[in-house]
Each structure stands twice: as C-alpha cells, then as structure tokens.
Amino acid sequence: MPKSKLTRRSFVKGVAAVSTAIALPTFIPASALGLEEGKPAPSERLTMGFIGIGKQSSGHLNRYSGRPDCVVLAVCDVHGGRRDRAKNAVEEKYKKLERKDYKACDAYIDYREVLSRKDIDAVVIGTPDHWHTTLIVEAAKAKKDIYCEKPLTLTIRESMLAIAAVRKHNVILQTGSQQRSDGPFREVCEYIRSGRLGAIKEVYVGIGTSSKPCDLPEEATPEGLAWDQWLGQTPNRGWNKTLCSNEEDTGKYPFNPGWRDYREFSGGHITDWGAHHIDITQWALDKDNSGPDEVHPPEKEGDTYGAKLIYKKTSVGDNIVVTHTKMENGIRFVGEKGEIFVSRGKKTSNPEEILKTPLSDSDTKLRKTKGHHEDWLDSIKSRELPICDVEIGARSVTACHLLNLAYWNNRKLEWDPKKWEFKNPADNVLRDREQREGYKLPSIV
C-alpha cells in the first residue's frame, strides 16, 4: 500500500497526556506498573474511546482493552445499562490484568464529550449504520484516528463526505471489513488477479436481501435510554424493542439486530453482508478506487434477488456482470477457465486443479496483514493507509447502495465512479436522503 501523506502527531504524542491525567510520570519501569518486562510503558500506549457499545463493539472493546499497547479511557452509549456494563467490564479487566497505572473508564451519553478529550487518540465507532458518518466527520475534525464498523455509510453522499473528512483532517480510518485480513479471501483474489480463471465473465454474490420501510408499532420507551438521540438523523418514531433491544447483556442480543431490516437505519443485508462480499468482489476485480458503471434492477419488479452491477473495464475482464443472487452465503467467480467459490468457511474451484496449483513468485500478491485490528494499530503508528481505508470502505458500500437503489426504484442507473455522479443529473438526488432537524450531517470544516 502507498504511504499516505498524513503528518499529524506521532503515535505516542497524544498518549503522553494520559500519564499527566493520572498523575504518573511519562516514563516509569514496567515492573513498577505491575506489567511484564518488555511490555509498553504508558507513553507507548494508544488511548481509546468507544462510541456505541452493542454486540459488535463489545467484542472490539474486549480485544483492545486486553492489549498492553492500548488503554481504554471512555465508553459512550445512549443505553444506560449497556454503558455502565461496558465501563464496569473495562475496569474489571484492568484490575485482573493488574494495570496499576489505570485510574478509571469514564462513561458518557453524548459522543461529543469523548471527542473533546485531548487525552484520547482514537475512537472505535460501533453504532447502528445511520450514525456512522456523523461520528466519522466529527472524530476526524477532532483529530482522532478511527475504526468504524461496516457498512461505512447509509447513503452515497455520506460515502463522499466520509472520504472528504478523513482526507482533510489527515486521520487514519480502518473500515471493519475484516475479510480483507481474515479467511481465504486474499488468496482467492490473488488467483483471480493473476489470471488463473482467465478473463472474468460473471460473479454471483449471496448476501441476503434489502431493507424495507419501518412499520413497527410504538412501545413504551424504557428508562435509561436516550431514544431521540438513538434515532439521530432518521424520522421521529416511537421506540420498539426490535430496533433497540433493552437487554443490557449484548451477548443475549439476536445475531442480527432488528434495526438492520429497516430502510431508515440500514440497507439490509445488501449493505451488511454486501460490505463484506461486494468489498471482496471489488478487490478481486481491481476496483478498490472505482466501482461499477451501471446497475440493473431484477427482471421482475418486486423480486428480492436478481439486480446486477456492471463493471465495463477492469484488469481482469470487461463487461463483468455481478449478480445479487439467492445462493449460499459467499461469492462465485466465473471465468474463461473455470470458477471459484469462496466464503468464510471454504474455497473451492472447478476444475479443482485451479486452486491446487500454487501461485508462483511472478503472480500477483496482495497485501497480507497480521490481523484487521493489528493492521489499524500499525497504520496509526506508521501513518500508512490501512488495508481497508476510508475510500475502500466507502466505494464498497456505494456499490451496495447502487444495488439497493435499483431495487427501490426498479430501473437501470448509469454511474460514473470517478465523478461520484449518475450519468443522468436528475438521478443525483438518489445519492442522499433528508435528515431530521437537529441531526443534520455536519460540515467537514
């Protein structure tokens, strides 16, 4: 990956502030902190805040709070029970780890209090999709490096805004599309980019269906939940447990949160799983900094599968048709010489010899990381772009947004990925949606 032109503070500069905040010297021996010899001193730790502590972010919180080179100083959530549970979990973990240099984890309702802290270097954003872009922009303006869950944005305009904010303020952003770092996907992309299938003709992606307008009835809002703030930019409506579980223990949540099924908050599985599998598709087609040229609706209006993305010119083939189809969760690449199927659990080829024949030193090799979280931390230290930089995440989810727009509008749309515009100017209104008063998308300046 190319080096970014980021010249903001070094990795350790902001970390030193936490030492002052807890009345400790900047450099002290590890043994004096109850840490193993060779472990990082406080001045070498990344200070972190977590915004949104639901099911997914709880896993990130557990991972980062256990690392010797990170320290979690704050958590933020509009759900009081979740917020307190996360705070207590962090403090208990550091107690068990005997991090004697650790004072406390502060808990907030308002994300702005986290971003205003000078002693926090980076934030992890784990809110529902409709809050991602506002938090990305505000975090970038506050000079915080960012790990943001996928799908990165709710609309195409938000994708453009996220890129602009991260670039303007010279921060590192890693999108949580971890398939770039985990599983068999990188190797499959290398086979495709090396021509082992010949020219790619078709791709089939199994990712589930789109979202629908919310029609849930209003229920009594539970105490301890800042419901208006949870709604954010979306239209005002009453609370329903399907949208925001009142369960404090995120381990008891349903595997797929209910808000994902509704258009006001998400693009459904097309943006959720699509942010994984469409992302890998674009990686394989060498379209990380571009995207499709057209999107076609399904042949029959009302069908929930069958929309197609068209990539006219790529390094691995021209006029490639990527079909959203009802099949096993995963991606099937079809080329002149055969096909490859890949999912998190497997990779297979037909004929079998395609994947059984090892890649040579002259074949295309794609970036290999030590892990998605590790890659983000390494990028913060080096100021190099991470493997799933903001533009990669934004362009992958934009391809997903285009699929949704084809379903929702039942018509073909022509897209110019370089200009981020539809070929028909009248269609550009589809890039955005209205935001509720008090929660408009922020300016990047």
Kindly indicate the confidence band of residue 41, based on its pLDDT and cuts at 50, 70 and 90.
low
Kindly indicate the confidence band of residue 33, based on its pLDDT and cuts at 50, 70 and 90.
very low
Return d(Cα 338, Cα 335) in angstroms, integer.
5
- Three-state SS at 336: coil
What does the block give as tokens for 16?
Answer: 């030193």
Q: Do 77 and 86 form a contact (C-beta atoms < 8 A)? A: yes
On the CB side of 122, how many CA atoms lie within 13 Å of its CA?
33
The b-or-e profile of 1-40 (16+ CB within 10 A means b, else e) is eeebebeeeebbebbbbbbeeeebeeeeebeebebeeeeb
Return d(Cα 226, Cα 289) in angstroms, integer.
38
Q: Do 127 and 135 form a contact (C-beta atoms < 8 A)? A: yes
Kindly indicate the confidence band of residue 35, based on its pLDDT and cuts at 50, 70 and 90.
very low
Q: Is the pLDDT of residue 14 over 60?
A: no
Kindly indicate the confidence band of residue 24, based on its pLDDT and cuts at 50, 70 and 90.
very low
Q: Give the pLDDT of residue 32.
A: 30
Tell how far CA 409 is from the center of its chain: 26
> Which tops the pLDDT comparison, 46 or 32?
46
Candidates 327, 290, 328; CA nearest to 309 is 290
Residues in Cβ contact with 255 at an 8 Å cutoff, skipping those fewer than 6 apart: none
Please state, rounded to an integer, the average pLDDT across all residues of the chain: 90
Q: Is the pLDDT of residue 105 over 80?
A: yes
Q: Do 283 and 275 form a contact (C-beta atoms < 8 A)? A: no
Query: What is the amino acid identity at position 241?
Result: K
pLDDT digits (tens, 9 = 90+) for 229-249: 999 999 999 999 999 998 887
Lowest mean pLDDT among 24-38, 79-93, 189-203, 352-366: 24-38
pLDDT digits (tens, 9 = 90+) for 174-220: 999 999 999 999 999 999 999 999 999 999 999 999 999 999 999 99
Lowest mean pLDDT among 6-10, 16-20, 188-192, 421-425: 16-20
> Which tops the pLDDT comparison, 345 or 146?
146
Q: Give the pLDDT of residue 22.
A: 22
- What 323-330 contacts at long range (C-beta under 8 Å, 24+ apart), as own/partner pairs, is 323/202, 323/203, 323/204, 323/205, 324/205, 324/207, 324/270, 324/403, 325/204, 325/205, 325/206, 326/206, 327/204, 327/206, 328/206, 329/206, 329/207, 329/208, 329/273, 329/277, 330/206, 330/277
The helix or strand, by DSSP H or E, that contains position 271, with its residue range, turns out to be: helix 269-272
> Which tops the pLDDT comparison, 375 or 45?
375
- Three-state SS at 82: helix
Q: How many other C-beta atoms can be found within 10 angstroms of the C-beta atom of residue 112? A: 10
Candidates 142, 144, 167; CA nearest to 5 is 167
Percent of the chain with pLDDT over 70: 90
Across residues 318-346, what is the average pLDDT? 97
Across residues 316-326, what is the average pLDDT? 98
Q: How many other C-beta atoms can be found within 10 angstroms of the C-beta atom of residue 438? A: 9
Q: Is the pLDDT of residue 99 over 80?
A: yes
- Three-state SS at 206: strand
Return d(Cα 190, Cα 422) in angstroms, integer.
31
Largest CA distance in the chain: 69
Lowest mean pLDDT among 18-22, 156-160, 264-268, 360-364: 18-22
Kindly indicate the confidence band of residue 257, based on its pLDDT and cuts at 50, 70 and 90.
confident
Q: Is the pLDDT of residue 335 over 80?
A: yes
Could you tell me which residues are beta bridge partners of residue 206? 330
Q: Is the pLDDT of residue 411 over 80?
A: yes
- Three-state SS at 384: strand
Percent of the chain with pLDDT over 90: 84
Which domains are assigned to the chain? 16-179 (3.40.50.720), 183-210+269-363+390-431 (3.30.360), 214-260 (no CATH)
Across residues 6-28, what is the average pLDDT? 28
Strand ordering across the sheet containing 46-51? 106-108, 70-76, 46-51, 122-125, 145-148, 173-175
Residues in Cβ contact with 34 at an 8 Å cutoff, skipping those fewer than 6 apart: 98, 99, 100
Q: Give the pLDDT of residue 1.
A: 35
Which phi and psi (to 5°) does residue 23 adopt?
A: 60, 40
| Residue tagged 């024949």 (tokens) | 357
Kindly indicate the confidence band of residue 255, based on its pLDDT and cuts at 50, 70 and 90.
low
Return d(Cα 429, Cα 257) in angstroms, integer.
29
Tell how far CA 335 is from the center of its chain: 30
Q: Is the pLDDT of residue 11 over 70?
A: no
